[in-house]
Amino acid sequence: MKKLRRDFLKKLGATGAIAALSPFAIPQETQAKSFIESSKSFSLKNNTTIKLALIGAGIMGTEDTNSALRHDNVELVAVCDLYQGRLQTAKQKWGDHLFVTQDYKEVLKRKDIDAVIIATSDHWHKQISIDALNAGKHVYCEKPMVHSVKEGMDVINAWKNSGKVMIVGSQGVSSLGNEKAKELLAEGAIGDIVYAEGFWARMSPEGAWQYAVPKDGDEKTVDWKKYISNTKSRDWDPLRFFRWRNYLDYGTGMSGDLFVHLFSSLHFITDSLGPTKISAMGGLRYWDDGREVPDVLLGTFDYPKTEQHPGFNLSLRCNFVDGTSGTTYLRIVGTKGSMDVKWEEVVVKMNQTVISDDPFLQEQARLRGESDTRASILPPKELVYTAQRNWKGAHYDHFGNWFTAIRTNGTVAEDPVFGFRAAAPALLCNDSYFENKFMQWDPVNMKLV
């Protein structure tokens, strides 16, 4: 690691050289800024048209489809949703030619569909993914990949047996910020990782999942029986359908919806398989609207030492009652500095080792044998890496990764094994909260201890 860090410091290049000209040439607060360039190219000789279907045409499904259709030679053929209003909107948005249905199995029967986007409520992810793979379709499944830990291996086995390409939709895995952070950590920019933390904050009704309920959203326009067919039978409840993230039968709360993004980024950057011990606490502090999940959640996680990284601890926070107007970040702290990682930016903050003029500290340094008290010329304490303005974004690149793998029989950034290892600690965070106990997890074999 020491050699890697020396190499990293050498790569600072011109900035460090300018600073060396004079101890007063650049103040310590100076930020060195550089752009992150995308090396991805999704233009291939094998650029055959991929025919796509969307299953689950809500907010995320619509966003995913719009991102997918920004790529060349991708055609939307069919849309499935249990609410008829979304099917009508799909035709208005993407064309009258679309085949629309409330039964996803009708989509999977079609021979003219190569791949499907699954953006349903979480409790349908497992079954639709398995059915789609068994039907010979490539799969893009929104995060979390499964609704509970016990479902993970069923999806992984179906994927392995299918020969198809499946990617999980934590789009940050394909972001320039994550890629740069992974490179910097490997180069030793912040030394050895010892701690990480992530924060996801919101303060709005929509951000807290109080989505609008359509005026025509009723049992005539929604196939409620099919929606609840794999869970507890209940009378029609529009909130449980249109605001499903608030209810445990259908969603996975703050951790399954948002912590999983932070796990995905952290595991990608560190090459980690996941934590072994998980705990959580929180509460319902503000959005007391009948929901079954907290609106403030804190999670702590213990990552063991492995061949990929030293042992470290992780803390995650999610707050839907946030007075700062919303903040999202992942911070990785090492022995020599830290990194604040966002999808489009990385800020590296390096320790300053300038000699102190405090007589006591100078005497302590002398007793340690550090007699050299000359002024140190240091590199900037903040290095900022920002994605170029022409970058099309993580969503675009994530779909490009999937389409390229489909056309070349290649691999993706977030296959089901990676996706499950990111989902499992998030889901176990819920279990810890509701069961009020530590959860023990085996990230290598992907099972509860």
DSSP conformational letter for 259: I
What is the pLDDT, as a whole number, of residue 47? 81
What is the pLDDT, as a whole number, of residue 39? 73
> Distance between CA 131 and CA 104 in Å, rounded?
9
**Cα-Cα-Cα-Cα dihedral sign, residues 389, 393, 396, 398:** positive
Q: How far is CA 154 from CA 55, 150, 157, 222, 257, in A?
A: 20, 8, 5, 29, 21
What is the pLDDT, as a whole number, of residue 45? 60
Name residues of the chain where pLDDT drops below 50. Answer: 14-28, 375, 377
Q: How many residues does the chain have?
A: 449
Tokens encoding 345: 């930016």
Q: Which residue has the tokens 């044998």?
A: 369
What is the pLDDT, as a whole number, of residue 440? 98
What is the pLDDT, as a whole number, of residue 91? 98
> Distance between CA 100 and CA 110 in Å, rounded?
12
What is the pLDDT, as a whole number, of residue 391? 94
Determine if the pTM surpasses 0.75: yes
